[in-house]
Amino acid sequence: MLACDLIVRRAHVVDGTGRDPEQLDVAVSNGRIATIATSLNASARTEIDAEGLTLAPGFIDTHTHDDTSVIEAPEMLPKISQGVTTVIVGNCGISAAPVRLKPEQQNSTPPDPMNLLGGAELFRYPTFRAYAEAVSASKPAVNVAALVGHTALRNNHMDRLDREANPSEIASMRADLQEALDAGAIGLSTGLAYYNANAASSNEVLQLAALLASAQAVYTTHMRTETEAILDAMHEAFEVGSKSRVPVIVSHLKCAGIDNWGRAEEVLHTLDTARTYQTIACDCYPYAAGSSTLDLKQVDPRVEITITWSTPHPEASGQSLAQIAEAWSLTQFEAARKLQPAGAIYHSISEIDMRRILAHPATMIGSDGLPHDPHPHPRLWGTFPRVLGRYAREEKLFSLPQAIHKMTGLPAQRFHLKERGQVREGFHADLVLFNPETILDTATFTDPIRPSQGIHSVWVNGTLGYTVAGATGTRAGRFLARSITAS
Ligand code: ZN
Ligand code: CU
């Protein structure tokens, strides 16, 4: 009789491909899924009767800013408590590596929005290899795959960021990017909407993206705009993909700003047209509000804005900008200027648009959670159970297998994460067992730091990392270096 490390019996297995659930026994050995059968004649050190529960591949958070958290807070509670077993870091043009802050930046805040990843003291990885080694040494609770941020590269080589890079700066940025790709980076990200990258031309991005194809890496982008000119920004992103022959992943696709509400259909039509020629995906978080650094361009009295942090006014955390402005007898714009540098939550997305985008077959789930915020957007703790509980079970926006596919099989395929994202024999045993009747987010805008309900057990590389009783204390995540696969 076969002896294994773990057998989960009689679970409803949702395998990550989108297929319907099936009641099966799943055996795990040496960190891998060893056998899957209707009734397994084997024994294991640990056996779980999972009748009534759903067993799925561990969730992949496709859009995170956990770059420094996986090292500084390797328990990764906000994520593993949701059933997440892998995080993609380095999004929106910002990454912890390769970064060499300028002397004057070392004692102040890193350039916006790199400050979303933490203070200057957390940027300690001059090369991507140094970062990969630090992640491995910190033994995070979840697996980590990393993109290289374009803004981070700009800051390494440019004296100022409000202009286009010149040819010699681009050559230096390319050398940094190549080092990172050689050390296992999975792709390049841009954050062209942010001031510190906005002056970069498409040509600057193209010259960097040219290195991606031979490495089978991807291009992800927080596009140049998500408001009026969103279609132009999409075309720019798609052109980078088609000219460089790399897959494109549009970050947190949304129609931002009240004047753009109702445009999701048009945006998705543009996406679908391009998808007939090239590989494109996008990620989305399941909330009608965004969050980032406080951007004066987004201050609009019609939009409810909550301040999440402020360096000169830490007491503003959790307060509404409207109230602060009133107390100070200033306009919201003036108050916002006084609060900077700061972070904010903007209730500037239409729920209807968000649902359309979330339900689209090219859409993956990404939290975009900001772990350094003292009063974070609830997406940090609630994204995945919210998609499963609220949008699949309650609202029936999509089926449970479709929802799971958006957070497992699809991202594994799009980001080329080898042998992950499916409950399949031979694959790594990243698994989550949950109650499909009760799974739900509990984090709210007023009370955002709360673990979700309904998660029974989470295994990372075959090791139990989280249960109903909380983290087990055994952290089994790995740094996932890009692997080139024959396609
Ligand atoms: Zn972004
Ligand atoms: Cu982001």
- Joined tokens for residue 177: 């990017």
Start-to-end CA distance of the chain, whole Å, equals: 37
Considering the entire predicted model, what is its pTM?
0.98
- Of the candidates 427, 480, 327, 449, the one whose C-alpha atom is nearest the C-alpha of residue 382 is 449
At 487, is the pLDDT very low, low, confident or very high (cuts 50, 70, 90)?
Answer: very low
- What pLDDT is attached to residue 486? 46
Asked if residue 316 and residue 393 are part of one domain, the reply reads no
Name the DSSP letter for residue 430: -
Least Cα distance to 412 among 98, 18, 73, 78 occurs for 18
- Cβ atoms 310, 340 nearer than 8 A: yes
Sign of CA dihedral 90, 95, 96, 98: positive
Per-residue model confidence as pLDDT tens digits over 185-239? 999 999 999 999 999 999 999 999 999 999 999 999 999 999 999 999 999 999 9
Examine the domain organization and report whether 262 and 396 are in the same domain: yes
Cβ neighbors of 430 (< 8 A, separation 6 or more) are 57, 58, 85, 86, 143, 420, 459, 460, 461
| Ligand with an atom nearest the CA of residue 95 | 2
User: Residue 333 belongs to what domain range?
Assistant: 291-344
The answer to whether residue 482 is domain-embedded is: no
- Structure confidence by residue, pLDDT tens digits, 364-387: 999 999 999 999 999 999 999 999
- pLDDT reading at 65 higher than 70: yes
pLDDT for position 485: 54
* 233-260 pLDDT, tens digit each: 999 999 999 999 999 999 999 999 999 9
Displacement of CA 393 from its chain's centroid (Å): 23
Other CB atoms closer than 10 Å to residue 337's CB: what's the count? 14
Question: At residue 36, what is the residue type?
Answer: I
Q: What is the identity of the amino acid at 221?
A: T
Shared-domain flag, residues 234 and 105: yes
Q: Which ligand gives the minimal distance to the CA of 61?
A: 2
CA of 88, nearest ligand number:
2
How far is ligand 2, taken at its centre, from the CA of residue 357, in Å?
17
Residue 485 placed within a domain: no
Count structural domains, the chain: 3
Distance 245 CA to ligand 1 centre (A): 23
Q: 200 and 310 in one domain?
A: no
Closest ligand to Cα 223: 1
38 and 147 co-located in one domain: no
**CATH at residue 44:** 2.30.40.10
Task: Name the residue with tokens 């983290």.
Answer: 471
Q: How far is the CA of 389 from the centre of ligand 2 (A)?
A: 23
